[in-house]
């Protein structure tokens, strides 16, 4: 199948492209260096170049708490416009299937744990990443609206926090796992971490997420959003201790409580994905961390994430 992957040069996208090609698909990779999907002209040119039968829309401007605090307007605008352009062009070209990657950041700040898809609209997202989360959630509305009016088979998936080899290790924009790994390997005596370590998160290994995307594309055609996760919750403090052990970090961990914690708790109910298209995450967190650390040790010079 002729498949377009937006963000195909990025962290998740590069793993998905490898999987799709291994499965025999004709994959067109859209990279930010070649197509600025916030511009209609570039997005239109991409669809003309790719002539896709199916699209995985993974492109986004993303980052951890720090990046979200610095770029709230940009993250809202870029993610909203990219998704809107992909939806409209998919409609124009009569696309067979559109798979949109949402974000766990779309959930309300105080949603009951584990997060269930029915709770998605029961409150406002956590403030530090709300512009990004709201922009992504707007794409769910767009996907459902285009399905209702135009019959576009567009599905919307909500992955947990991702990690794994080829993640973005740039400390200015990275998420928590690559940030912790780099800090502890680069600063063996002392690291300072944001918040007090009490928030909890759920982490999904990148290859597990790819499996979920592929299964959903093949087996799911519904309008309702679906979580992709493990159901395993860990505190940031426990995560830091585990990464310290796995990296051999024996220095001091200092918690800067003057900096934001982010959302208090995050964990997904992934039962719907199992029931609807047979998805189940398989990578244990410890093994996934070991693989991620090993990749970083080998590629320590390539600290910034690849262009999306």
Annotated catalytic residues are 132
The count of other CB atoms within 10 Å of the CB of residue 187 is 12
């Amino acid at each position: 199948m002729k498949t377009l992957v937006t963000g195909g040069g990025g962290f998740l996208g590069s793993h998905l492209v490898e999987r799709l090609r291994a499965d025999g698909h004709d994959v067109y990779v859209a990279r930010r260096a070649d197509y600025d999907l916030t511009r209609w002209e570039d997005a239109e040119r991409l669809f003309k170049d790719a002539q896709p039968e199916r699209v995985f829309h993974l492109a986004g401007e993303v980052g951890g708490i720090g990046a979200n605090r610095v770029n709230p307007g940009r993250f809202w605008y870029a993610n909203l416009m990219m998704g809107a352009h992909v939806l409209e062009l998919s409609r124009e070209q009569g696309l067979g299937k559109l798979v949109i990657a949402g974000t766990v950041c779309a959930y309300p700040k105080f949603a009951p744990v584990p997060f269930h898809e029915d709770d998605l609209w029961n409150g406002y997202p956590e403030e530090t990443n709300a512009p990004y989360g709201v922009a992504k959630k707007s794409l769910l509305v767009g996907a459902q609206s285009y399905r209702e009016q135009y019959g576009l088979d567009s599905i919307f998936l909500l992955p947990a926090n991702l990690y794994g080899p080829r993640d973005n290790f740039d400390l200015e924009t990275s998420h928590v796992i690559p940030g912790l790994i780099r800090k502890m390997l680069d600063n063996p005596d002392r690291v300072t971490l944001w918040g007090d370590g009490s928030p909890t998160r759920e982490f999904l290994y990148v290859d597990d997420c790819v499996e979920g995307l592929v299964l959903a594309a093949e087996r799911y055609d519904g309008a309702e959003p679906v979580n992709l996760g493990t159901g395993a919750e860990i505190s940031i403090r426990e995560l830091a201790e585990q990464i310290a052990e796995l990296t051999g970090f024996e220095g001091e961990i200092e918690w800067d409580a003057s900096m934001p914690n982010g959302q208090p708790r995050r964990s997904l109910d992934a039962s719907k994905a199992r029931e609807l298209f047979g998805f189940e995450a398989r990578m244990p967190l410890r093994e996934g961390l070991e693989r991620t650390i090993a990749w970083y040790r080998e590629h320590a010079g390539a600290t910034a994430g690849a262009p999306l």
